[in-house]
Amino acid sequence: MKPALSVGIAGLGTVGAGVVRLLRDNATPIAARAGRSIEVVAVSARDRKRDRGVALEGVRWHDDPVALVADAAVDVVVELIGGAEGAAYDVVMAALAAGKPVVTANKALIATRGSAIAAFPNASLRFEAAVAGGIPVIKTLREGLAADRIASVSGIFNGTCNYILSRMRAEKLDFATVLADAQARGYAEADPSFDIDGVDTAHKLAILAAIAFGRQVDFASVHVEGIRGVNALDIAFAEELGYRIKLLGIARATAAGIETRVHPAMVPLTSPLAQVDGVNNAVVIQGDPVGQIVLQGRGAGAGPTASAVVADLIDLARNRAAPLLGVETGSLQACASVPMAVHQGAYFLRLMVADQPGVIADVTAVLRDHSISLESMLQHGRSPGDAVAVVLVTHVTHEAAMAAALARLAALAAVREPPALIRIETA
Amino acid sequence: MKPALSVGIAGLGTVGAGVVRLLRDNATPIAARAGRSIEVVAVSARDRKRDRGVALEGVRWHDDPVALVADAAVDVVVELIGGAEGAAYDVVMAALAAGKPVVTANKALIATRGSAIAAFPNASLRFEAAVAGGIPVIKTLREGLAADRIASVSGIFNGTCNYILSRMRAEKLDFATVLADAQARGYAEADPSFDIDGVDTAHKLAILAAIAFGRQVDFASVHVEGIRGVNALDIAFAEELGYRIKLLGIARATAAGIETRVHPAMVPLTSPLAQVDGVNNAVVIQGDPVGQIVLQGRGAGAGPTASAVVADLIDLARNRAAPLLGVETGSLQACASVPMAVHQGAYFLRLMVADQPGVIADVTAVLRDHSISLESMLQHGRSPGDAVAVVLVTHVTHEAAMAAALARLAALAAVREPPALIRIETA
């Protein structure tokens, strides 16, 4: 057996401690699959005294994570500090500059620091854990489906949002109530904006789109909407119409170019994404000639993330190499994302309108003016003088037309609240 | 870019022609992901004249597939003849003896020729396409989840059986009717026994179990039952009880040892396997620490199978190596499969009994004698003097106890037909 692969871990939070634990608990099968043992020889974290539930005797401690990179005993650097800047960025750059392989779970860094990383075209940088936790979706796209032309990659990539939307539906609660409870339970951060405003999903989508379509990571072009605007009323209407509301990340090759977008979407109950509840993640890949592939699993947490980090270490131990984004830099395509305005799709539109004669005529006239045709319309109950909900489901139309129509609808005197619009994803 | 990888294809059926077509249609992305082009330089098949829908000009034709292996221009041999014996076996053995890498979709050969293959411990033999078509489940188990201890791998691995069971349920038809129609449509073979008797599923399960548990392939120990005995009545009862009947392959680590079994099973509607209909395949993997991972996709057909074959070729082109079963031969565990008699689980039991007083008392007395406790009992309608269906659902019990009870139940005078027994899988 070859000599051990010596690992230095920067960052000993939940995931870092989970990696240390996994490398010990599963040492025997890991060594068999890696063809050599994998050992943690050095770590770096801010607080030496904190009890992390793992024994660190005999492991060198570096207060400065960059010093860990320079440690001659360290073959591979595992970066689990997180964030696109600061110590995480410094550690990764130092390791790449030193020619040491890096394994990271840092989606923000991979998604937004592409140009800095590109300065090291021969870098060995692996990030399976950055997307969808324990689901090996990076490997699946880069290797398992390497023969395919990918038409689309879409999915549920943020467990916090999916947990919130699942509970809103199951318990008929509003967003603020579930968010507060999720924060109390530790399922959502004190500052939840990174998750609920869709940024985390967009980071992951930008990474997947790069690998799926063989291009540079283009986070800036991702259209991002979060779930703050999703309300219990629309979840109930979705149910009635045979849909579930999910925060999706969608990367799709269209005639106009590649769309990359993150937003709440209505998916039919027959979609493999409709049934994915709680903190689970799921990815749907459409490839030619493979057809549809669906991957599901836990998208976060120490166990699934450590599973992905150590799988990357095993690939390194076996010398199973792959270019950063699946192809050499020179083979990357120059295909930018297209703006959201050129998107075409079907829409769910809810208006709170005054319950008075002529309102529906005004609303449908606006849609007609923008060549938007309706698949169905729904109105429940009556309350003369008050606002009632009118739901319109459109056939496939242009986002730009929809946006223009929406502005006019919002300006109608009979429309009492800003209209709610949720895109419908059937594919 | 490195020189092209030159491929010789033995067997030009649907899949072989699909591989030739895929290597041409997706030549550009394949070359980018492989870091070099992959070219078919030689083929072998019985009939030179048959129109396979692919141009073969400039490709050398060998009437003898073993001569194709010897062709000096061939770097990698792709075996798509099929079958554990004859030409397929000869080609694979010749290639391994010559030290040429082999890619195959041949599950029968991998599942049953382990000892012959083991004579070449350093062989490069890849078989992603042998299990679950385009779903990269071999790579997922061997690499993506390489850090995990696998607790179980189960799934739907035979599209023909799943198609038949799906149609029996949806259209309330009996087995013989759907089989005949499936044969007419080309979804089932003229001799369907390989599929419907569970042999094909058992081949695939034996391969997955070897990789999941790091042991030699042990097809002989797989307990195999097919779907000939599944009838419309039991499908209806399953529906009523909240289950679907699926032909499953299950490999599970239990306290007694590793179970490997193929049989029709009732899965709850909440199971990810319950919703997999038609010719689709699905795999559910339980790993520690990753938790549950579910993979779904098309399990057969030229496109998905070619996708997997070419992904293996791309791995070879990139020199991404892995031992045959994920670990070196010396690291394989000596853990045999345990016999079915030690299985523990819940059971669905249907008896056709004379509608007369005292029968239920006799039946339940037998179950009591074997310490089998009931979760529920179901009887519909009455037809005095005739046979009526009585359905019993047990709590978890021993297979051996169930088998003994079944023999006694079948011998009761009031029991008019051989009892139907279907195992319930909730995990």
Of A289, A318, A340, the residue that ends a domain is A340
* Cα separation values, B112 from B1, B11, B74, B202, B218, Å: 39, 20, 27, 11, 8
Q: How many residues does chain A have?
A: 427
Rounded Cα distance between A345 and A347, Å, is: 7
Domain annotation covers residue A357: yes
Whether B247 and B100 map to the same domain: the answer is no
Closest residue of chain B to A312, computed from CA coordinates: B144
Tokens for B369? 């004698």
> Is A38's pLDDT higher than 90?
yes
Closest residue of chain A to B134, computed from CA coordinates: A290
> Is A143's pLDDT higher than 90?
yes
pLDDT of residue B357: 86
Tokens for A237? 């209407």
Which of B289, B293, B306 shows the shortest C-beta gap to A296?
A: B293
pLDDT of residue A379: 87
* Domains in chain A, number: 3
Whether the upstream peptide bond of residue A289 has omega within 30° of 0, thus cis, is yes
Whether A159 and A257 map to the same domain: the answer is yes
Could you tell me the pTM of the whole model?
0.97
> Is B427's pLDDT higher than 70?
no
> pLDDT digit string (tens) for B11-26?
999 999 999 999 999 9
Do the Cβ atoms of B202 and B249 come closer than 8 Å?
Answer: yes
With cut-offs at 50, 70 and 90, classify the pLDDT of residue B386: confident
* Cα separation values, B93 from A66, B21, B67, B80, B103, Å: 52, 26, 12, 14, 12
Whether B34 and B176 map to the same domain: the answer is no
With cut-offs at 50, 70 and 90, classify the pLDDT of residue B244: very high
Whether the upstream peptide bond of residue A272 has omega within 30° of 0, thus cis, is no
With cut-offs at 50, 70 and 90, classify the pLDDT of residue B186: confident
Domain annotation covers residue A246: yes
Interface contact flag, B314 A136, Cβ < 8 Å = no
Please count the other Cβ atoms lying within 10 Å of the Cβ belonging to residue B377: 13
Q: Which domain holds residue A146?
A: 137-298+329-340
pLDDT of residue A244: 97
Whether B164 and B211 map to the same domain: the answer is yes
In this prediction, does ipTM exceed 0.85?
A: yes
CATH number at residue B165: 3.30.360.10
A 15-34 residues inside an 8 A Cβ radius of B: 18, 22, 26, 29-30, 32-34
Contact residues on chain A for B297, CB-CB shorter than 8 A? 290-294
Q: What angle do CA B344, B348, B350 make, to 5 degrees?
A: 140
- Amino acid of residue A185: R
Q: Which of A416, A423, A360 is nearest to A394 (CA)?
A: A423
First-last CA distance in chain A = 48
Domain annotation covers residue A373: yes
Segment B52-81 shows an average pLDDT of: 95
Mean pLDDT across chain B: 95
Q: Is B329 left (phi over 0), alpha (psi -120 to 50) or beta?
A: alpha
Tokens for A183? 């924060």
CATH number at residue A11: 3.40.50.720
CA dihedral B338, B344, B350, B356 (to 10 degrees): 120
Whether B332 and B401 map to the same domain: the answer is no
A 287-326 residues inside an 8 A Cβ radius of B: 287-298, 302-304, 306-307, 309-311, 313-315, 318-323, 326
Q: How many residues does chain B have?
A: 427
Rounded Cα distance between A358 and B26, Å, is: 56
* Cα separation values, A296 from A202, A282, B311, B402, Å: 19, 4, 21, 35
Domain annotation covers residue B315: no
Whether B349 and B259 map to the same domain: the answer is no
With cut-offs at 50, 70 and 90, classify the pLDDT of residue B211: very high
What is the DSSP secondary structure assignment for residue A8, as one 8-state letter? Answer: E
Segment A140-150 shows an average pLDDT of: 98
Contact residues on chain B for A139, CB-CB shorter than 8 A? 136, 139-140, 143-144
Residue A188 CB partners (closer than 8 Å, separation 6+): A160, A163, A164, A179, A182, A195, A196
> Is A132's pLDDT higher than 70?
yes
Domain annotation covers residue A115: no
Segment A297-307 shows an average pLDDT of: 95
Task: Give me the residues paired with residue A351 across strands.
Answer: A390
Interface contact flag, A293 B297, Cβ < 8 Å = yes
> Is B385's pLDDT higher than 90?
no
Q: Is B268 an 8 Å CB contact of chain A?
A: no
Indicate which residues of A carry an active-site annotation. Answer: 204
State the nearest Cα–Cα gap between A34 and chain B, in angstroms.
8
Mean pLDDT across chain A: 95
Q: Which of A12, A285, A308, A294 is nearest to A131 (CA)?
A: A308
Domain annotation covers residue B235: yes
Mutation target for B interface from A23, A24, A33, A140: give the one with most B CBs within 10 A.
Answer: A33
Residue A103 CB partners (closer than 8 Å, separation 6+): A76, A77, A78, A79, A126, A127, A129, A309, A312, A313, A316
Tokens for A291? 């057809």
Whether A150 and A285 map to the same domain: the answer is yes
Percent of chain B residues topping a pLDDT of 90? 89
Between strands B344-354 and B243-254, the pairing is unpaired
Whether B243 and B332 map to the same domain: the answer is yes
Q: Is B148 an 8 Å CB contact of chain A?
A: yes
pLDDT of residue B24: 97
Whether A86 and A149 map to the same domain: the answer is no
> pLDDT digit string (tens) for A4-24?
999 999 999 999 999 999 999
Whether A184 and A333 map to the same domain: the answer is yes
Whether B22 and B68 map to the same domain: the answer is yes
Whether B41 and B100 map to the same domain: the answer is yes
Contact residues on chain B for A170, CB-CB shorter than 8 A? none
Domain annotation covers residue A351: yes
Q: Which of B73, B68, B60, B70 is nearest to B3 (CA)?
A: B73
With cut-offs at 50, 70 and 90, classify the pLDDT of residue B383: confident
CATH number at residue A411: 3.30.70.260
Rounded Cα distance between B402 and A193, Å, is: 56
> pLDDT digit string (tens) for A361-394?
999 999 999 999 999 999 877 777 788 999 999 9
Segment B101-127 shows an average pLDDT of: 95
Percent of chain B residues topping a pLDDT of 70? 100
Segment A31-49 shows an average pLDDT of: 96
Domain annotation covers residue B34: yes
With cut-offs at 50, 70 and 90, classify the pLDDT of residue A427: low
